[in-house]
A and B are shown apart, each in its own frame.
Chain A
């Protein structure tokens, strides 16, 4: 239990440092906004249009697939580090895990989501 008190102290100290620094910066910095200052930085050119650029929503499926395989890599690294102790069982488990994800990828491929229409 006492180890968690140390963690709590670290969290409180970390949050406190951030809050105190932001408060001090707010108190001490000059504050002088005006329209020419507030325009977007576009290499000193006047910005064209809004900075709220809309990405095509077809990117969403790529992002989703990317996240899945990103998570797979996160699982793979600790597995690879501890592979020496884990033995054959872990290898089979990981192959099954990768196969399940590959099946998902092939499913998505077959459904045509990887094709850019």
Chain B
């Protein structure tokens, strides 16, 4: 068991411990937010925008985002595209196989609420938050690369505000 779970308990009982705690938090959050490696998971047209964001014009790398082909090395899963009922358990499995800390971005209307398939489809999952916890929703059909970049910046801000105490429950 890592020190990380007990650190808030130990640190706050010591004089000056909260200073140590906040600096450890700041360093960890900085590292985590600036090196979000994302899992290659594109299931529909949003993946084209994801590829475009990863290419040289929009240059995902400058945010520290590098794609990984395996969930074991990924911190972030960008669900880019329609998730069908058949794909849903696979998405759950991929999320389970990622190591903590792990984050989820729901990219595009399909992953938020089923998108254009909301009314008449029996096969599409109406929102991936039925399957996995989502950190950031990016609307659009599909969202432009600028939207994806902004969503990732929002996720980085969210990670920077994380407290070690929150990790005890997870």
Q: List the interface of chain A (C-beta within 8 A of B).
A: 26-32, 34, 36-37, 39, 41, 44-46
Contacts and interface: CB of A to CB of B under 8 A. Distances in A.
A84 B94 CA distance: 58
B28 interface: yes
Contact of A32 (B72, B94, B170): B170
A30 B170 contact: yes
Contacts of B22: none
Which 9 residue pairs are nearest across A and B when measured between Cβ atoms?
A: A44-B90, A27-B3, A36-B96, A30-B100, A44-B94, A37-B96, A31-B2, A44-B93, A28-B4
B2 A28 contact: yes
B2 A30 contact: yes
Interface of B: 1-5, 24, 28, 70-72, 90-91, 93-94, 96-97, 99-101, 167, 170
Nearest to A26: B2
Most buried by B among A32, A37, A44, A45: A44
A39 B95 CA distance: 12
A34 B93 CA distance: 12
A41 B72 contact: yes
A27 B96 contact: no
A34 B94 CA distance: 14
A96 B70 CA distance: 49
A89 B2 CA distance: 63
A36 B100 contact: no
Contacts of A27: 2-4
A25 to B, nearest CB: 9
Contacts of A28: 2-4, 24, 28
A46 B101 CA distance: 23
A39 to B, nearest CB: 7
A31 B70 CA distance: 19
B4 A37 contact: no
B94 A31 contact: no
A37 B96 CA distance: 5
B4 A29 contact: yes
B167 A30 contact: yes
A45 B87 CA distance: 10
Given A30-B101, A36-B97, 12 more contacts: A27-B4, A28-B2, A28-B24, A28-B28, A29-B2, A30-B4, A30-B170, A31-B1, A37-B96, A41-B72, A44-B91, A44-B94
